[in-house]
Chain A
Amino acid sequence: MTNQLLAEIENRVKNIDTEDRVDDTVIDTVIDYLTKLKNDLLKVEKKWLNIDHENSYSIYYGVRSVILVLEKIIERFQTESIDNVSQIAKDTLLVIPFINYIIQDAMQYKTNDDLAEHILEMTDQLDEKAYDANLLKSSEEYLHDIDKNTILKFFDGMLEIMEVPKKIP
């Protein structure tokens, strides 16, 4: 089902006629399809949130990464100027076929360990593509969702790992 949905999204985005005035309904339909896909993935994500397995985090992280890219595409279609639709469509087509590939690929793994190991690799590649296509949320957007003390705790932990010499005040 998910693959069909992705194929449909790809098809719809390809058919956006950028030379002509793009009708709002065309964009709305693309957004509807993207939202449906996102909602399907949220169900998958919820499943992995509830599984207490050592690899559940990696799989959760992989699914979340795809959702975040979809959210960014939806956000851009909803908020950017109509004159930019051509660029958003181009950017979207740089990642949608790869998301389709990730999902197809994920189906073939028989164990959670194999899936977890592979999905992190795929997520890295997706992030690279999304970054180049300007479809990765900015670090400020992530920071917005993280408590400041958490970041500081993380950085302090990092300093211990790095054994960076302490500066005398």
Chain B
Amino acid sequence: MVKILPDTNVVISALIYKHKKILGALSLNQDEDALKFFEHFNNDEIIRTLTVYNESKNKLEKNAQNIKLTENKDLNKKIVAYLTKFVKIELKKFYPRPEKPLDSLVQKAKKDVRDLSDYITMRYNTVYKDDDSQRKEAKRRTKIEIKQQQNKGSWKVIFEKYREQVRIESFQVKKFMSKEPFDKNLTGKKSKDKNSGDKRILAEFVAIKRKHEENNERVDFYIASFDTGFFSAKKIYGITEKSDIVTNEIKERFEIICDIPSEIIQQCRPHV
């Protein structure tokens, strides 16, 4: 049995794709995999969390209210109200409001997710932050390989191999860190944690997973997301390896596989 959590961007993306299709609009920019994801898995397999619901609702509402339509303010208000109602009803059909999960389990999971985020921050500062740190890490890996395998090959070739490996690894970590709170002007005040939504989503899902484990259920857990800075590996054009330090860490710590919807469909339904 599988339990899969679609991230906010997958929910909204599927909703948009569905309606663009109905309206007959071109959707080259839209990934139809999100809608396929909802069509492939049944209601028992898809996990819905309150944070994903609230994030989806808030983003849809906010965008509806920001839309500039006509010079007629009264008409604008009416259209915006109807647009807001429209997207809210569609969301309800697509993603019914879930129940709040057990607080105690979520609190415990939140602490574990904080530990994960602290660990990624530490790795960023020591390994990926700048060119100098990345070179040091590549040197360290080169030394280990030469020592362990008594490799007499060219130091430069091995070093360049690790230099590239570390560079690829850095993409996802850097994207993750760009959303982490930081004290830019060293005033003691940190910027907003733009990863906070994803952290809450992960904590809620971990809590749900632990609840299943308490019941000794044999279940595989997945998160489907387009967010390459957290829940899905970053692919780099022309390179086979993926940048997946954060997603791998989630897999190690929580036994949750994170990937883009099409990859998750492939893993769970290889014959579809």
A-side interface residues toward B, CB under 8 Å?
49-50, 52, 57, 60-61, 64-65, 68, 127-128, 131, 136-139, 142-143, 145-148, 150-155, 157-159, 161-167, 169
- Given A139-B89, A142-B85, A143-B86, A164:B13 Cβ within 8 A: yes
Going nearest first, the 3 A-B pairs with the smallest beta carbon separation are A142-B86, A139-B89, A169-B28
Contacts of B9 in A (CB 8 A): 162-164
* Min distance, Cβ A92 to any Cβ of chain B, angstroms: 20
- Given A158-B12, A159-B30, A151:B73 Cβ within 8 A: no
By CB atoms of chain A within 10 A, which of B74, B84, B89 has the most?
B89
A19 CA / B231 CA spacing, docked (Å): 57
A153 CA / B70 CA spacing, docked (Å): 13
B67 is an interface residue with CB less than 8 A from chain A: yes
Stretch from B17-25, B113-121, B185-193, B211-219 at the A interface: B17-25
- Given A61-B81, A64-B81, A164:B86 Cβ within 8 A: no
A16 CA / B156 CA spacing, docked (Å): 89
Contact in complex: A154, B63 (CB < 8 Å): yes
**Contact for B23 among A152, A159, A165, CB less than 8 A:** A152
B264 is an interface residue with CB less than 8 A from chain A: no
Contact in complex: A151, B83 (CB < 8 Å): yes
The number of residues on chain B lying at the interface, defined by a beta carbon within 8 Å of a beta carbon of chain A, is: 43
Q: Could you list some 5 contacts between A and B, CB below 8 A? A: A57-B77, A57-B80, A61-B81, A64-B78, A146-B79
- In chain A, what residue has the closest Cβ to B57? A124
Contacts of A139 in B (CB 8 A): 85-86, 89-90, 93
- In chain A, what residue has the closest Cβ to B9? A162
Contact in complex: A52, B73 (CB < 8 Å): yes
Contacts of A50 in B (CB 8 A): 74
A118 CA / B13 CA spacing, docked (Å): 30
**Contact for A142 among B12, B13, B82, CB less than 8 A:** B82
A143 CA / B18 CA spacing, docked (Å): 14
Contacts of B46 in A (CB 8 A): none
**Contact for B85 among A68, A148, A169, CB less than 8 A:** A68
- Given A150-B79, A155-B19, A167-B30, A162:B89 Cβ within 8 A: no
A142 CA / B84 CA spacing, docked (Å): 9
Contacts of B12 in A (CB 8 A): 158, 162
Contact in complex: A60, B67 (CB < 8 Å): no
* Min distance, Cβ A68 to any Cβ of chain B, angstroms: 7
- Given A138-B89, A151-B19, A151-B23, A157:B63 Cβ within 8 A: yes
